[in-house]
Amino acid sequence: MQRLIRPKSDSPSRRDLLILALPALALVVAAFVLAWQFVRPAPPSRIVITTGAAGGAYDYFGQRYREKLAQEGIEVELRPSSGAVENLRRLKTDDEVNVGFIQGGIANEPESEDLATLGSMYLEPVWVFHRGKDDLDKVVQLRGKRIAIGVHGSGGQLFALQMLAANGFSTNDPGLVSLGGMEAVEALRKGEVDAFFVVGAPQAPVVDALLHSEGIQLLNFAQAEGYGRHFPHLVKVTLPRGAIDIQADRPPRDIQLVAATANLVVKSDIHPAIVTLLLRHAREIHGAPGLLNGPGAFPSPQDHALPLHPSARRFYESGPPLLQRYLPFWLAVLIDRLFVMLLPLIAVVIPLTKVLPALYNWRMRSRVYRWYGELKFLEAEIDRNPEARQDLATIEGFIDRLDRIEQRASHRKLPLAFSNELYTLREHIALVRQRLRSLAETATGS
């Protein structure tokens, strides 16, 4: 019994597969490599915020940001400073510092290329606390007193000197003391100084301590509107009667104050995801109602001394990105980074999954169709030559050509999916062979 021999290899079909697959694979790899060029780098896992002196508003809010960002897996290093002036210098010169608090009026670079603002986070009133029972309403009434004006290099000291100079004080007045923070609070309480200029949010420990100190009064800026004309970065605000303590009726009347905005400033090349994250938490930290503002007033893009960061502008216009609204920060950032990698999948891989199988099928069937073409050509030649159908030598030549067609078809390995076409071809070859044999018998008999 003859044993059927299974072909050892289907290497021709594999070769055909590789001919199609290798260029397709190269195209896919090239598409992903190109797309990778547009993938944003991952956001940093650590940022540095320059804040202010201990007990100040910048230090207080810096700690709030550190707590919030730690929940998102971002480590925050807080670097104390003397205030807004030093913060601006650090942002300009220190490559490690990413974020800082700066008072309105300190920086004035609306076309800056290295710094950008994330907006105003809260109001920083100029608080002038003084000893005694007199109700002072003008800065000039402090003449001849010892006045703490904040530490050197702070935005508070700069504001104090500007306002004092506008009231006729000399910058080298012996009554002006470079003292700030809780040291100035204790000095005022003990009578070592008579007044203290503070620039900061009501939540700042220094301000809060003095607002609740017995024997310490708050100067009422009767000229608040006028200060706004001389210093455009200052606005008039009102501390309402009873806002500090409604039961004790503190303050006992509305107090007029002047205030600047406290702005969150970043390096212009900071990662956009960090910008969005900072502003998301800024809404939680600064969005609550306070002594001087209603709910939702901050953060807002009020100060225009520095350009608004593009990501901050999008945040104010349309809120946080969709993914960050519903997903953890790390997952939202990961999906956002990899989203661009879906483009090659959509533009290249998916079409190839449709084209390659069709192209492969066409290559496999084209071989069968080529043999059909040779077979049809052979039949047409037989039909065109009536004399040849009666010549035995010519008929044997036809049979030899038919044998070669059958031999190539039999030895060509095709995938099992195309076996049906191959068997059909062999049946047609057998029909032609049967016809040629009939012709040969007729020619022999004649």
List, for residues 355-405, the tens digit of each pLDDT value.
Answer: 777 777 777 777 777 777 888 888 888 788 777 667 788 878 888 888 887
Between 347 and 38, residue with greater pLDDT: 347
**Position 10 confidence tier, pLDDT thresholds 50, 70, 90:** very low
Between 250 and 424, residue with greater pLDDT: 250
User: What is d(CA 10, CA 6) in angstroms, rounded to the nearest whole number?
Assistant: 10
Question: What residues pair up with 235 in beta bridges, in sequence order?
Answer: 259
**By mean pLDDT, which of 12-16, 104-108, 233-237 is the weakest?**
12-16
**Position 3 confidence tier, pLDDT thresholds 50, 70, 90:** very low
Between 412 and 131, residue with greater pLDDT: 131
pLDDT reading at 291 higher than 90 = no
Residue recorded with tokens 């009578």: 191
pLDDT of residue 39: 57
pLDDT of residue 6: 41
**Position 440 confidence tier, pLDDT thresholds 50, 70, 90:** confident
pLDDT of residue 337: 66
Instruction: Report the chain's terminal Cα–Cα distance, integer Å.
Output: 39
Q: Report whether 55 contacts 205 (CB < 8 A).
A: yes
Any idea what the Cα angle at residue 347 is, between residues 346 and 352, rounded to 5°? 90
pLDDT reading at 4 higher than 50 = no
pLDDT of residue 32: 65
pLDDT reading at 82 higher than 80 = yes
Per-residue tokens: 127: 């608080």
- What is the arithmetic mean of pLDDT over 247-269? 92
Mean pLDDT (the chain, rounded) = 84
pLDDT of residue 139: 95
**Position 145 confidence tier, pLDDT thresholds 50, 70, 90:** very high
Specify whether the backbone of 365 is left (phi greater than 0), alpha (psi in -120 to 50) or beta.
alpha
